[in-house]
Amino acid sequence: MTPPPYVKPVATAPKVVSTRPPTAEERRRAQRALLRIRVVVQVVGKANTLEGYTHTVSAGGAMLIIPEPLTEGTIVIIENPKAQGKVEARVVRPPQMQMGHEGSLVPVEFTSPSPHFWGIFFPPSVS
């Protein structure tokens, strides 16, 4: 069937393709927030706990500041005393750097979705 002569085809804008690699912010799976929350970290299989703070948080994990560096793959239980909640997480990379006397920056990812663990709202990802 041929469209009537008064119907004009709609032109679509060409899709712009970037030749540069995506930035770290564009690669992120979730938005992050700078938020300092006291946490208690229990390394699975060890008796002692580590007291620390969050550096940044996301719906899927956090960057923790704790007194000891932890190796990649270590499973931990993170307790948020303010929200009275606990969640299991794993260390996703070796510690980033020392934060002076406060300890090491340790990136962790929740082992199961826990978007409300930090008690804040994260908008949906734009990508």
- The structural domains of the chain, ordered by start, are 29-110 (2.40.10.220)
Q: Find how far residue 75's CA is from the centre of its chain.
A: 16
Q: Which two tokens stand for residue 95?
A: 């510690």
pLDDT string in tens for the chain (127-residue length): 666 666 665 556 566 666 766 555 445 456 788 899 999 999 999 999 999 999 999 999 999 999 999 999 999 999 999 889 999 999 998 776 666 678 899 999 999 989 889 988 877 666 5
CB of 91 closer than 8 Å to CB of 74: yes
Task: Return the pLDDT at 123.
Answer: 72
Task: Return the pLDDT at 20.
Answer: 63
